[in-house]
Amino acid sequence: MKKLFVILAFAAIVMTSCNRTNPFLTDWNTPYGIPPFEQIRYSDYEPAVREGIARQNAEIDAIVANPAEPDFDNVIAAFDRSGLLLDKVAAVLDNLSGSMSTPEMINIVDIITPLETEHYSNIYMNADLFEKVKAVYDKRGELSLTREQECVLDKIYERFINNGVGLDEEGQARLREINQQLAALTLRFGNNLLAENNNFQERFGVSVSEYEATMAATEDRELRRQMFEAYSTRCNHGDDFDNKQVLLDILRLKIEEANLLGYETPAAHILHDKMAHDPATVDEFLAGIFKYAVKRAKEEVYDMQKVMDRDIAAGKLEAGSKIEPWDWFYYAEKVRKEKYDLDESEVMAYFQMEKVREGVFATASKLYGLQFEPIADAPKYHPEMEAFRVSDADGSLIGVILTDYYPRDTKRGGAWMSNFREQWCQDGENIRPIIVNVGNFNRPTADRPALLSIDNVETMFHEFGHALHGLLSQCNYITVSGTAVSRDFVELPSQINENWAFCKEVLQGYAKHYQTGEVIPDELVDKIIAAGNFNQGFATTELAAASILDMRWHELKSVDGIDVEQFEAQACREMGLIDEIIPRYRTTYFAHIFKSGYSAGYYSYLWAEVLDKDAFELFKQNGIFDQATATSFRKNILERGASEDPMVLYRNFRGANPDSEVLLRARGLK
What residues are annotated to the active site?
Answer: 463
**Rounded to whole angstroms, how far apart are CA atoms 603 and 535?**
20
**Helix (H) or strand (E) run with residue 340 in it:** helix 328-340
What dihedral angle (degrees, nearest 10) is formed by the CA atoms of 606, 210, 533, 303?
Answer: -120
3-state helix vs strand vs coil in the chain, percent to 5: 60, 5, 35
For residue 336, give every residue at least 6 positions away whose Cβ sits within 8 Å of its Cβ, in sequence order, or none. Answer: 342, 531, 534, 535
Nearest to 329 by CA among 158, 414, 211, 452: 211
Query: Is the Cβ–Cβ distance between 442 and 450 less than 8 Å?
Result: yes
Nearest to 180 by CA among 119, 102, 98, 97: 119
**Exposure letters 488-518 (e unless 16+ CB within 10 A, then b):** bbbbbbbbbbbbbbbbeebbebbbbbbeeee
- For every residue of 105-131, DSSP letters joined together read HHHHHHHHHHHHHHHHHHHHT-HHHHH
Nearest to 404 by CA among 98, 108, 194: 98
What dihedral angle (degrees, nearest 10) is formed by the CA atoms of 63, 67, 69, 74?
Answer: -30
**Rounded to whole angstroms, how far apart are CA atoms 317 and 623?**
50
**Rounded to whole angstroms, how far apart are CA atoms 134 and 392?**
40
**What's the one-letter identity of residue 206?**
V
Query: Is the Cβ–Cβ distance between 268 and 258 less than 8 Å?
Result: yes
The 8-class DSSP code of residue 515 comes to T
